[in-house]
Amino acid sequence: MMNNGFFKLLTFVLSTIVAFIGVVGVRQLLPSDAQNKTQQEKPSKTTLAQTSQELEANQVCEQASKAVVTVKDGKGHGSGFLVSQDGLIITNAHVVEGSPSVVTVVFQDGQQAPADVIGFAHGGVDLAALRIQNRKNLPHLNLARPGSAKVGYRVFAIGSPLDPENRDTCTQGHISRIREEGIVQHTASTNQGNSGGPLLNSQGDVIGVNTWGATAPVYDKEGNVIARTPSGTGINLALPVSNVQSFIADIQNRRVASQSTLERRQEPTIANITLNGQVIDGSLTTGDRTLKDGRFVNLYQFQGRANQQIVIDMKSQKINSYLTLYQVNGSSEDSEVIKIAENDDRGPNDLNAQIATTLPADGFYFIVASSNERGEMGNYSLRAASYP
């Protein structure tokens, strides 16, 4: 096997030879320096096409982001978008399910406003409506014509993935499939926190509401499904704009549901956690994930950096706290998890758990909060902090 230095040298030599041959070939085709200069200054059709697509993408992202908001309810966050000048916002029902009647929305520029949760879609459709009161002339998005989304068309997703501070994140991809009932499958990258945000076409019109991301199970060595890949599958799903239009018509006719009509999710969610030292209250109870040994667990995910020093504390007066930290290795169906650290007791006569470690690489990590006893239930507090 060639060593790395020799391979780099060989690549450089070959590149130089190819470049030299290319220059000679051009000079043979063009009889004078004047012709050569004229030909170089003339942009190619490929360059023009790339420039046009880049300008179009920039325009869609910059203009649409003004009408996209982060939705915060004190327990988590999602995304949403304005559909009228007087403050009507569409988001996913699961973003505000169980939230207070008033939530906080954050605009692109960081300004905040209270918004009333005014209703949910009927029939288990994952949509909810918010209203910012006493506001006019707000930026808003137009809805595309139902059925206008086609396989292969370019699309843009805007929202606040993973962390509320990631607001105004715009990704692009293509429609890869139109599923049953018009659900749009696409490749624009989305993560938790994108839920409720718009999926846009090249004109900046809404063709869907980002709602799900396909995930693959990640197993530990004992065969437990310890997590699901948080991104990288390339299969992201959005409710079609026809659902949005029907819901808005119900809002105008005051036919919305006062509570979420979603069916209970079969898989417990994975909560996002920020390494800012904030204390999170949790509990182990029936209905949580259960390991093969009968222990209940809660999962938290975060995105870490190589050589980042972190401390995770789990405290409880009800249960024998047990912490495990995993690194996700890969982001496809072949993903696996690597155990980074675990802790049962911080010390003698201290049943609280603590992990202090240095992260080995950039990427996603999962915190498993559980008990050391089978079937043990109770409340706990969790705190994670990063130190420079």
The answer as to whether 373 is a domain residue is yes
The answer as to whether 324 is a domain residue is yes
pLDDT in tens, 265-289: 545 567 889 999 999 999 998 777 8
pLDDT at 9: 38
pLDDT at 30: 36
The answer as to whether 26 is a domain residue is no
Kindly tell me if the per-residue pLDDT of 195 is higher than 90: yes
The answer as to whether 339 is a domain residue is yes
More confident residue, 266 or 313: 313
Q: Torsions phi, psi of 67, nearest 5?
A: -105, 5
The answer as to whether 308 is a domain residue is yes
CATH number of the domain enclosing 383: 2.60.120.380
The answer as to whether 72 is a domain residue is no
Q: What does the pLDDT average to over 22-26?
A: 36
For the ranges 53-57, 124-128, 222-226, the lowest mean pLDDT is seen at: 222-226
The answer as to whether 150 is a domain residue is no
- Indicate which residues carry an active-site annotation: 94, 126, 195
The answer as to whether 361 is a domain residue is yes
pLDDT at 157: 97
**Domain carrying residue 383:** 271-387
The number of domains in the chain is: 1
pLDDT at 33: 46
